[in-house]
Chain A
């Protein structure tokens, strides 16, 4: 048996501001060199578990504990965050909050600087750590020049540089695109294999993490450990669905087809799962499901034609982009960072004027309309609700746009209350916005736009950072709006979202339109997937392995059955 490095013994933790413990009776031992994944819905206590290990709880987030937590054999009670950081390197979710240096090299060096390591040794160790994550060419880059994935690599090197034997990842995938997320999972795996460090990953995006092997998965719910199993066993236990964690899609497909999913066939990875016993069943299931009906052609509502735009005319951000959105349609816009996704929405809203091309709504040219006039017909919802909430009270927040437009008070009251009812926020109307949950805040921002009665809503990453339950709640709400006739444009790189809810996806690459097709076909196109920083879904791989053609047809049929099963 290998030496234990982290030991929880009857450990209970309660934040000072909470009336109930967040973690209860935790018994958990992690051994040297293990790679462990911790999953659980938001609010389950999985992040608190991570904070107890790296010392943020109770030193940064005050609270009380009972029971014992030993790190490297010593009681953590006597250790501060700084001492613990000698054993544990932490990588958190927000890439900008953690990147505190002015350049990559300084950020990696940060822990060494604080430990007072001499200059020559520091330079050497920074170079070694950068080489370990294959980032040596970027030592002088500033954070403003880097993508989220590159910032995270820097933070990871900054965790390695102190020589900590344990690496702790707290939702490392939350703010990355699928391509960068996969690269992170592979990098963590390589570090684990090459250096033998102990790895703990806290994450609710199970399928992405399981792209590479892990030794154990620990499931946390309401502050307790409810499962501690090897991945193949956990995936077969049916526990994940019960606990509101999304299982890998290929597994759902196999279940729908009636395959016997057992640990023996190795269901963790779609590439290596043994399909011998279930290929036939999968093909039969595919054939039994009806072909997807052709979606009817919709009357165009918003049309962009030949749009070219650049802050610097020599370097256009968008080049000759044309696209149209039908009335009542759900269109996804995808593309890697800097491909021009957010610029398109800014142009539609009128923050910038295109240098050539036209934008029409209902056939009418919008070029003479001001930002405010466009806002009456086109609503824009930002990714971070905190950036949009500008009034202390919910009612005032939703009323703000109308008050600014000089609408009579009685009408404001009616429209605000009606909108709050539609958004399920009516019972909270006199609450301070800050008392709402993240999902409710997001809905509040949508309400504050809906109250203006736009014809189109543009939403930037509507489900980013939310767990499966909240993701479903948000999308169900948006689907309801859509069924009432609202046209939706979703800017996203969430592939599940695209597959499940998008009727069409437009992919931008380097300012040009690269593809415009159904999401299932887009995600099956290797070149487009690569350009847009997405990756192939496990469903496409499954279809290929069982020899179903075309693969996207299999994917579409799966999505339709899945939707039926969920509702």
Chain B
């Protein structure tokens, strides 16, 4: 059995009770603010907020432990790559140089570089909790109606709903096809030479693609038969009216992001510079 995808489960926290629209807006605003800002103070505040909301949500650790592990590896590799490629990036950005330790050749550790890389990590860390929360504490059914409500065309919104619906089925199909292929001696592991491995992959992808195209035909017919796309607007079974709590959270998210942007660009630079 392949590892299960991250899955929604209702633990009934205040975060779970929020409307999908609210969570989507908060997630988007935080993501944008987190992307634009390089102001350490803002990012730190945002991270604290993110983490406390995550704490309130009571999402069980084992639901995201695997993801967390991947995130750590990815971040570590990325940090290493940045340093290897450009050990003086921080010096360039902040305009000063405080060397802490010379390593070898052009590599030395500077406070600027450390601070810069800390910020890169921070930027990513700020976005991860809301993203995970949006995924783990929002009923997948609410994704589509929420997106439609914030202005995405209902057809695109429904396509996303179909993605969530058919990921497990396509995954099962992939497992079935590759199992049958392995039984005939089609090996994808490192035991085979690269060229053969690519060829073998094609032998699995072809039936998978053809089965997917067939599925697209069937599902389209089913959608047509139940009148999908006949009107300019559609309603959603899983939509809920916004409550007072939702309005408050949205207002809060707007205010925080606006504040972040204002503070960040107050001095004309998106970087907060502690060295001058």
Contacts and interface: CB of A to CB of B under 8 A. Distances in A.
Interface of A: 54-56, 59-60, 80-82, 85-86, 90, 92, 94, 96-98, 100-103, 105-106, 109-119, 122-123, 126, 143-144, 158, 162, 311, 346, 349, 351, 371-372, 374-375, 379-380, 382, 384, 386-392, 400-401, 404-405, 448-449, 452
Given A102-B140, A115-B227, A386 B233 contact: no
Contacts of B184: 375, 400-401, 404, 448-449, 452
A85 B203 contact: no
Contact of B141 (A102, A144, A405): A102
B225 A90 contact: yes
B183 interface: yes
A427 to B, nearest CB: 24
A57 B181 CA distance: 36
Given A56-B224, A101-B165, A122-B237, A115 B218 contact: no
Interface of B: 1, 139-141, 161-162, 164-165, 168-169, 173, 176-177, 179-187, 200, 202-204, 206-207, 210-211, 214-215, 218-231, 233-239
B173 A375 contact: no
A59 B186 CA distance: 41
Contact of A105 (B169, B229, B237): B237
A105 B223 CA distance: 16
Given A158-B226, A386-B207, A114 B234 contact: yes
Nearest to B237: A109
A454 to B, nearest CB: 10
Given A116-B235, A126-B237, A143-B165, A60 B221 contact: yes
Contacts of A116: 231, 233-235
Nearest to B141: A102
Contacts of B176: 382, 387
Given A55-B224, A372-B182, A372-B185, 4 more contacts: A81-B224, A105-B237, A386-B207, A388-B207
Contact of A82 (B214, B222, B224, B237): B224
17 contacts: A81-B227, A82-B229, A92-B218, A97-B215, A97-B218, A97-B221, A98-B222, A100-B223, A102-B140, A106-B237, A114-B234, A115-B230, A162-B227, A387-B176, A388-B177, A400-B186, A405-B185
Q: Looking at A96, A372, A374, A452, which has the most chain B CB atoms within 10 Å of its CB? A: A96
Contacts, number: 157
Nearest to B211: A386
A106 B161 CA distance: 11
Contacts of A117: 235
A389 B207 contact: yes
A110 B226 contact: yes
Majority DSSP secondary structure for residues of A touching B: helix
Nearest to A403: B185
Contacts of A106: 141, 237-238
B49 to A, nearest CB: 30
A386 B237 contact: no
Nearest to B240: A119
Contacts of B200: 404
A386 B214 contact: yes
A40 B204 CA distance: 36
Contact of B161 (A102, A311, A452): A102
Contacts of A389: 207
B224 A59 contact: yes
A85 B235 CA distance: 18
Given A113-B236, A115-B231, A116-B233, A85 B165 contact: no
Nearest to B203: A390
B169 A96 contact: yes
Nearest to A387: B177
B203 A114 contact: no
Given A101-B165, A106-B141, A351-B179, A390 B204 contact: yes
A123 B236 CA distance: 10
Contact of A114 (B1, B140, B161, B228): B228
A54 B225 CA distance: 7
A390 B205 CA distance: 8
Contacts of B223: 100
A401 B182 CA distance: 10
Sorted nearest first, the 3 A-B pairs with minimum C-beta distance are: A97-B218, A82-B230, A390-B203
A114 B141 contact: no
A371 B218 contact: no
**Among B181, B224, B226, B238, residue most surrounded by chain A Cβ atoms (within 10 Å):** B226
B219 A100 contact: yes
B182 A371 contact: yes
Contacts of B140: 102
Nearest to B181: A390
Contacts of B219: 97-98, 100
A452 B183 CA distance: 11
A465 B236 CA distance: 35
Contact of B234 (A113, A311, A386, A405): A113
A32 B82 CA distance: 74
A162 B233 CA distance: 17
A400 B182 contact: no
A38 B129 CA distance: 56
Contacts of A55: 224-225
B187 A372 contact: yes
Nearest to B231: A116
A86 B226 CA distance: 9
A228 B222 CA distance: 29
Contacts of A111: 226-227
Nearest to B161: A102
B237 A404 contact: no
Nearest to B225: A90
Nearest to B139: A102
